[in-house]
Amino acid sequence: MEIDQLKKWRRELHSFPELGWTEFVTTSVLVRELKSMGYEPLLGESIINREFVRGRKIDLVQKAIKVAIDKGVDKELLNKMNELTGCVAIFDSGLPGPTVALRFDIDCVGVQETDNENHLPLINGFKSNTPNQMHACGHDGHMAIGLGIAKWLKQQPVNSLCGRVKLLFQPAEEGVRGAKPMEMSGIVDDCNYYLASHIGFIAKSGEIVVNPNSFLCTTKYDFRFKGLSSHPGKDPHVGINALAGCCNAATQLLAIPRHGKGMSRINVGVIRAGEARNVIPAYGELQVEVRGETEEINTFMCQQAERLVKGVALGFGLDLEIEVMGEAVDLTNDQEMVQLLSDVSKPYNLTIIESRPFGGSEDATILARRVQKINNGKAIYFVLGSDLKGTHHQSDFDFDESILPIGVNIYTNCLLKLISKK
Amino acid sequence: MEIDQLKKWRRELHSFPELGWTEFVTTSVLVRELKSMGYEPLLGESIINREFVRGRKIDLVQKAIKVAIDKGVDKELLNKMNELTGCVAIFDSGLPGPTVALRFDIDCVGVQETDNENHLPLINGFKSNTPNQMHACGHDGHMAIGLGIAKWLKQQPVNSLCGRVKLLFQPAEEGVRGAKPMEMSGIVDDCNYYLASHIGFIAKSGEIVVNPNSFLCTTKYDFRFKGLSSHPGKDPHVGINALAGCCNAATQLLAIPRHGKGMSRINVGVIRAGEARNVIPAYGELQVEVRGETEEINTFMCQQAERLVKGVALGFGLDLEIEVMGEAVDLTNDQEMVQLLSDVSKPYNLTIIESRPFGGSEDATILARRVQKINNGKAIYFVLGSDLKGTHHQSDFDFDESILPIGVNIYTNCLLKLISKK
Amino acid sequence: MEIDQLKKWRRELHSFPELGWTEFVTTSVLVRELKSMGYEPLLGESIINREFVRGRKIDLVQKAIKVAIDKGVDKELLNKMNELTGCVAIFDSGLPGPTVALRFDIDCVGVQETDNENHLPLINGFKSNTPNQMHACGHDGHMAIGLGIAKWLKQQPVNSLCGRVKLLFQPAEEGVRGAKPMEMSGIVDDCNYYLASHIGFIAKSGEIVVNPNSFLCTTKYDFRFKGLSSHPGKDPHVGINALAGCCNAATQLLAIPRHGKGMSRINVGVIRAGEARNVIPAYGELQVEVRGETEEINTFMCQQAERLVKGVALGFGLDLEIEVMGEAVDLTNDQEMVQLLSDVSKPYNLTIIESRPFGGSEDATILARRVQKINNGKAIYFVLGSDLKGTHHQSDFDFDESILPIGVNIYTNCLLKLISKK
Amino acid sequence: MEIDQLKKWRRELHSFPELGWTEFVTTSVLVRELKSMGYEPLLGESIINREFVRGRKIDLVQKAIKVAIDKGVDKELLNKMNELTGCVAIFDSGLPGPTVALRFDIDCVGVQETDNENHLPLINGFKSNTPNQMHACGHDGHMAIGLGIAKWLKQQPVNSLCGRVKLLFQPAEEGVRGAKPMEMSGIVDDCNYYLASHIGFIAKSGEIVVNPNSFLCTTKYDFRFKGLSSHPGKDPHVGINALAGCCNAATQLLAIPRHGKGMSRINVGVIRAGEARNVIPAYGELQVEVRGETEEINTFMCQQAERLVKGVALGFGLDLEIEVMGEAVDLTNDQEMVQLLSDVSKPYNLTIIESRPFGGSEDATILARRVQKINNGKAIYFVLGSDLKGTHHQSDFDFDESILPIGVNIYTNCLLKLISKK
């Protein structure tokens, strides 16, 4: 794959970063390119199950749609998206064979890109043109790799490939929000193989981690309590105190017991309750996350957390809203995929790192688990090393664009092994 | 009324004090005396509704029955009592007329009577013969007055009185436990008048408080949480921690909001949870009391308390047992009874104190409220002054026996006004 | 006093309402008028002890100064104010005699004035020209009365009055913030008499409440906890959790025990802690108020609250900032002042209401207490009745301007009794 | 070593089991035997630093001394013990060489020994003769082995051994209480080698675990809060509520954050506060234990726990007593000792298990750490397998006496390697 095209894509996408669930311009760029290659990308509810959408604020969505219209995004396209971002391009060989899903995430993070004069995106004129939003995690690179693979697929000789490839451009990975509703659309339910990756992170240029481990299961919650305000001097007995509920819930959540079988975590990251000193607070909310080394442990944490807040709601007479804002599971790569990846990596002189702890959460795992469970499919998540400027999620983040063609090649060589006509 | 008989009764009863719900010997003495006057006292479930019995420990009851048997109490009598103490003697004039209830409490307190050489019960040989139990509140005097009235009633000329008089000897006033089940037996449901009193307390010998006020409504609760023990090192996630539930419940109970309409109170007097340092506690309990200046406020406190503990039980996955251990309400004396009492007190050269704060709880109020509500009956609770040694509930408590005949006379003169044949 | 002048003053002040500590334009209007009468008003630190200023946000102050400059307020005047609002005009008779302090509050409330077409300020073109700020409590009327008295004083014949009168135009009454630093400037330390009042509130036009009672003592607190953020997945043991501290503090504060001697109150009106779900919160704050029926009870509440938050800070390893944001005390009017006010009210055909519960907090009480304590001075706070549209602090609030001259007359007749040359 | 003597010792000691810090009879038996071999055992404060004694109740100690006197224990011996149990016998070869410490624990557990007819101690007439006390952990076997080694040492030819051997008979291992004060007496400060072991537990007869791992560090605490009682109705503001303090402390302790570097644990096993429903509790206590996978983590837990309870004491105005009731650390066996043990075990046809998780706490680790730290000494703790009836700490526990001579042989062969004259 030619690096120039990959850089061009990456740089265009870098210049207009969008937060999770608002990637309307980003999606339109992907659709434009995919269409120019001959794909007819799937959009909206065919790839996103609205019922399972997590952590999406409708006012931000509508503002983003207006911005997209201002940017000249086609209204018909926006109609098809139906307020949901992301797209899926399907390559169908026309011949019987397995279905392979490849997944690329497309959202940015809420960081102000640096004005440091050594910052390559600034020098080369593709710095984010939106304040406080930046592709500071490398998802622009992921998308460029995805487009490169899409192009490569269309370039293969007729009848050289069999089966199908689904290129999933998934929204809202940050906050581990987008994979669940994509899973629940059923889009990977017919897939036999699944590959996803991240650039940088735990490996340098020239390295590839073929079997990262220690993916943390996690669930993100918002808990919202609604009570009744009253005057704390005159009517202290009338109020139904949402602040009291929030504070008791928070202290109880932080005391969820440890789990005997492994690592667990709980954080109450944000509490907001009450509006004025002299009013008994009628509303309060908690932003919470739990984690577990295994799905069993994470489920334990979720059950404890949900039961505790329900108890507080009952005890204080409050109405309670529980919203799951995001989730990711753990992942065990299938050994045959690890072997496959090691094999195809060798010709590229990459240092193959068998295993290294990922130590974070990634919602690519949710789609991987679906493929593994539903079809006894085989899944892998790997890390494509890249030298970095800054670190992920920081304003001076940048990765090494020279890895982009390597990424495309790794994927396409895997495809050659998986769906070459024999 | 002759003082000698009253003193004799009082002293016999003083010498064998029994705690609430264990007054088997005491009841047998009352029954013996009442029978000797010609009464056939009601016992057991005819006067105590077992379903509403509060704060009664069955092992203490059974131990007390054994003691009573050892003391020679007739087994047939004990059978009739059916594990329930107290008795009611009914005087029936045979003529139509109103029914008057008089109530006397019969239990002692858990105090070791003093060995101080100046202590009159010691000097005169009627000190408590049971360790850690003592008539240190004057209920022995109340019973003596009640027997005096019983005797007087039988001495009145035929056809001089009309209607009926019910002499209620109520168990378990301490902890405000006995009045509720007596109320729920229906024993006062046909009563048109109700009189009860306390000796000492807020008035000296020569005084009578005809309209004490500020009776505090109160409810006593035991809350018991049951969970599941487990090893805190190996299986911290398996335990269902009753101690955590208890402690959260206690902190929440202490934060029940104040009431805008008046005084409220909450106390968690006792907490007990867990048996060993290295076991997650499977059981815990709280002993709680709430109070309110009015029934509305006390009800608010009860509702809040019960809801909070239910919320904790739900949140922590615990089983919960709520037991009401006692209760008392407030009281507004009927003005015509206040007037009646003032009138009959005058001949005895008593200083009539119109009103004085009682500032405590008394379950005589529960029976008073029943009479007031059910028949639009008239009720009064008054305080018969007495000089005291020590104070109520202390080991050196003693009252002035010379007030006993005055007490009988006040009551009997009231009866003459209420049920004399006209 | 002519009503037209009073209305003109009131309406000008009404049209440019300013929140507590930002009354720069308001103060400049007062100064302009007072200077035109021949006063040389005191400003800045001579009347406000900066150390005791409560609940003042410096960014709002600086914004307000810019607005004042835009409005044409003289920069030299602003320099003299030195970022502090309010002014004191002193009338000195030149003859020996007592010093009388009269106090008028000058700030508005944070309410959007109504556009209802029947709203008199709208009809007459003096509606607030600042969004979300409105004289919805009547302080505009208080200032007009103060200016009326100032004018009257200058009109009295030479040598008819003795002693001095201090006209205190106090900032920041809302949130009970301004009186304390005015007290601590020493401005009333030489005063022998003190009068202050409110219009409307608990009395109608034609009524005057000469001895309102039940002023609630109150203290307003901000508690701010500072800890250390860390990653809740990787480094849960490194964070010093300000949210945990806040929540434990809040639950403990709400459980401050009731007081046996009278009414107490506690409210945690606002909690804010943490910025992101996946960060252990490094900062959190509580906005709290306590109240007490008496200064003893309020002091108890303060001591408990401060000790509890200090304990939490120690226990959780947090830094703690305690800021008193406002305070008011209770008040017992001096009987001779009550008599004086009753006497001077009679000629005006006012219904004199001896006593009526005020049931709120007012920081005029702080200055009153100072005068009473320091010189055994005599103080009074009274309520000048007024028919109202809407109620205090609501967008359609308006009072009856016809009471303004009555207000002036009541005050000036009091002055004639207190400082007429005999 | 002859098994008969070992069994005789074990059975005598089994028949009179004593709880930690009350092993007066046990110590007297050990002293009797050791003296008969020619030792002059050290007692009292020469081996136990009284200042560091943990979890010792003086009334139990005094009761045990009376029992010992009744049992005929020599009063002079008891005087030397000075209320402290345990003893240390020192074998001194008279030749220069290393000092080796061997440690044996001597206390029993609080369990009622079974009356099951198949229970060997019952059949053979050496069942515990003290109710609710039983050698149900095997410490009787440990002591027998210790005595066997002592005897063997005295039997060795003159000049065949060099250096010294300290035989530590340590009290109060249960609750991990006795090692710390023994450490702090300095008794092992001159030791170059340290060996200790447990029988049974994680290995069967014929097995030896030469390098058990996963010793949990632990600290046991009692936290005691003292406040002020008062009447919750009349004087709720006067009480200093120890129950409120306890409950807040408990909820905070249970929420001590997890540690990022490994496993941690917290348990509040017991809470007791308050004596009566209608009294504000003046006293309350918590029994707590923390654990950590490493000493760093356990120290973190200790620091958090102590700081939290101090914060609660400050916040609620309570006096606080922190008592460490027991402690154990982790242990890394020195590799050369593991090798030594493996070497000497081979001739006995034992299955040598290199490593197996111990998964519990043992205060032998405290003495091991001292030897390792102070002299760069070498230490080992191993498990001598034994088939068991029942499990440790249960009423039907029994071990396989045939392992006793193996235990002696393992130790003595180690000694031959360590202190044979070369």
Residue A31 has pLDDT above 90, yes or no: yes
What's the CA gap between A325 and C171, in Å, rounded?
46
| Yes or no, beta carbons of A268 and C274 under 8 Å apart | yes
Q: Return the pLDDT at D139.
A: 97
Residue B410 has pLDDT above 80, yes or no: yes
Q: Which residues of B touch A252 (CB under 8 A)?
A: 248, 315
Nearest-CA neighbor of B178 among B16, B332, B364? B364
CA distance C262 to chain D (A): 10
A1 confidence band (pLDDT: 50, 70, 90): low
User: In terms of CA atoms, which chain A residue is nearest residue B255?
Assistant: A244
Same domain, B204 and B306: no
Residue C84 has pLDDT above 90, yes or no: yes
DSSP D202: T
C46 confidence band (pLDDT: 50, 70, 90): very high
Residue A42 has pLDDT above 90, yes or no: yes
As given in the structure block, the two tokens for residue C325 are: 């944001």
Residue C1 has pLDDT above 80, yes or no: no
Q: Are C15 and C127 in contact (CB under 8 A)?
A: yes
Looking at the structure of chain D, the number of domains it has is 2
Q: Which of B220, B243, B291 has the CB atom closest to D250's CB atom?
A: B243
Neighboring chains of C (3 or more beta-carbon pairs < 8 A): A, B, D
DSSP string computed for B303-321: HHHHHHHHHHHHHHT-EEE
Same domain, C190 and C103: yes
CA distance C329 to chain B (A): 20
Residue D1 has pLDDT above 70, yes or no: no
Using beta carbons and an 8 Å cutoff, which residues of B are at the interface with C? 251-252, 254-255, 257-258, 263-266
Q: Which residues of A touch D264 (CB under 8 A)?
A: 258
Same domain, A110 and A252: no
- By CB neighbour count within 10 A (0-12 exposed, 13-18 middle, 19+ buried), where does A228 fall? middle
Q: State the best of C252, C254, C263 to mutate against chain B, taking most chain B CBs within 10 Å.
A: C254
CA D327 to chain centre: 10
| Yes or no, beta carbons of B271 and D271 under 8 Å apart | yes
Using beta carbons and an 8 Å cutoff, which residues of D are at the interface with A? 251-252, 254-255, 257-258, 263-266
Same domain, D163 and D237: no
User: In terms of CA atoms, which chain D residue is nearest residue B283?
Assistant: D270
Nearest-CA neighbor of B322 among B334, B313, B332? B313
Q: Return the pLDDT at A318.
A: 98
Q: Return the pLDDT at A193.
A: 98
User: In terms of CA atoms, which chain D residue is nearest residue B110?
Assistant: D276
**Which helix or strand (DSSP H or E) is residue A92 part of?**
strand A87-92
How much is the mean pLDDT over chain C? Answer: 95
Q: State the best of B231, B235, B237, B310 to mutate against chain A, taking most chain A CBs within 10 Å.
A: B237
| Yes or no, beta carbons of A308 and B316 under 8 Å apart | yes
How much is the mean pLDDT over chain A? Answer: 95
Q: What is the pLDDT of residues A86-128, one digit of tens each?
A: 999 999 999 999 999 999 999 999 989 999 999 999 999 999 9
Q: Which of B279, B298, B327 is the last residue of a domain?
A: B327
Neighboring chains of B (3 or more beta-carbon pairs < 8 A): A, C, D
Same domain, D344 and D376: yes
What's the CA gap between B286 and D252, in Å, rounded?
19
What's the CA gap between C297 and B263, in Å, rounded?
14
Q: Are C230 and C297 in contact (CB under 8 A)?
A: no
Same domain, A252 and A286: yes
Beta-strand runs (E) in C13-160: 87-92, 99-105
Q: Return the pLDDT at B1.
A: 66
Q: Which of C236, C267, C276 has the CB atom closest to A278's CB atom?
A: C267
CATH number at residue C15: 3.40.630.10
Q: Which residues of A touch B300 (CB under 8 A)?
A: 237
Same domain, A184 and A287: no
Q: Are A218 and A409 in contact (CB under 8 A)?
A: no
User: In terms of CA atoms, which chain D residue is nearest residue C317?
Assistant: D307
Q: Which of B299, B327, B355 is the last residue of a domain?
A: B327
Residue C364 has pLDDT above 70, yes or no: yes
Residue D182 has pLDDT above 70, yes or no: yes
User: In terms of CA atoms, which chain D residue is nearest residue C298?
Assistant: D237
Q: Which of A269, A271, A361 has the CB atom closest to C247's CB atom?
A: A271
User: In terms of CA atoms, which chain D residue is nearest residue B231?
Assistant: D267
B358 confidence band (pLDDT: 50, 70, 90): confident
Nearest-CA neighbor of A327 among A359, A298, A285? A298
CA distance D56 to chain B (A): 15
User: In terms of CA atoms, which chain A residue is nearest residue B308?
Assistant: A315
Same domain, B55 and B161: yes
B97: phi then psi, degrees, rounded to nearest 5: 165, 175
CA distances from D260 to A197, A265, D131 (A): 26, 9, 45
Q: Which of C258, C315, C317 has the CB atom closest to D237's CB atom?
A: C258
CATH number at residue A246: 3.30.70.360
Same domain, C258 and C299: yes
As given in the structure block, the two tokens for residue D179 are: 């090692």
B254 confidence band (pLDDT: 50, 70, 90): very high
Q: State the best of D174, D231, D246, D247 to mutate against chain B, taking most chain B CBs within 10 Å.
A: D247
Q: Which residues of D touch B268 (CB under 8 A)?
A: 243-244, 247, 274, 281
Q: Which of A255, A263, A265 has the CB atom closest to D254's CB atom?
A: A255
**D76 known member of a binding site:** no
Residue B264 has pLDDT above 90, yes or no: yes
Q: Which of B235, B237, B315 has the CB atom closest to A308's CB atom?
A: B315
| Yes or no, beta carbons of B314 and A310 under 8 Å apart | yes
| Yes or no, beta carbons of C236 and D308 under 8 Å apart | no
Q: Which of B327, B356, B389 is the last residue of a domain?
A: B327
Q: Which residues of B touch A310 (CB under 8 A)?
A: 314-315
| Yes or no, beta carbons of B258 and C258 under 8 Å apart | yes
Average pLDDT over residues A373-391: 94
Q: Are D161 and D149 in contact (CB under 8 A)?
A: no
C259 confidence band (pLDDT: 50, 70, 90): very high
Residue C214 has pLDDT above 90, yes or no: no
As given in the structure block, the two tokens for residue B240 are: 């269902």
Q: Which amino acid is at C172?
A: A
DSSP string computed for A16-80: S---TT--HHHHHHHHHHHHHHT---B-GGGT--GGG--S--HHHHHHHHHHHHHTT--HHHHHH
Same domain, D139 and D71: yes
What's the CA gap between B69 and B63, in Å, rounded?
10
Which positions of B make up the binding site for Mn(2+)?
A: 137, 139, 174, 198, 393
Q: Which amino acid is at A185?
A: S
Residues of the domain holding D406: 3-215+331-419
Alpha-helix runs per DSSP H in A139-187: 139-155, 179-184
Q: Which residues of D touch C306 (CB under 8 A)?
A: none
| Yes or no, beta carbons of B269 and D276 under 8 Å apart | yes
How much is the mean pLDDT over chain D? Answer: 95
| Yes or no, beta carbons of D258 and C239 under 8 Å apart | no
Q: Say what the pTM is.
A: 0.89
Among A180-184, A389-393, B280-284, the range scoring the smallest mean pLDDT is A389-393
Q: State the best of B214, B254, B264, B308 to mutate against chain C, taking most chain C CBs within 10 Å.
A: B254
Same domain, A185 and A67: yes
3-state secondary structure of C201: coil
Q: Are B206 and B385 in contact (CB under 8 A)?
A: yes
- What is the interface size between C and D, counted as CB pairs within 8 Å? 75
Quote the radius of gyration of chain A (alpha carbons, Å): 23
Same domain, B184 and B168: yes
User: In terms of CA atoms, which chain D residue is nearest residue A264?
Assistant: D258
Average pLDDT over residues B152-179: 96
Nearest-CA neighbor of A149 among A44, A42, A37, A29? A37
3-state secondary structure of A305: helix
CA distance D350 to chain A (A): 32
| Yes or no, beta carbons of B270 and D277 under 8 Å apart | yes
Q: Are C9 and C143 in contact (CB under 8 A)?
A: yes
Q: Return the pLDDT at D183.
A: 97
Which positions of C make up the binding site for Mn(2+)?
A: 137, 139, 174, 198, 393
Average pLDDT over residues B136-152: 97
Q: Which of B260, B309, B310 has the CB atom closest to A236's CB atom?
A: B260
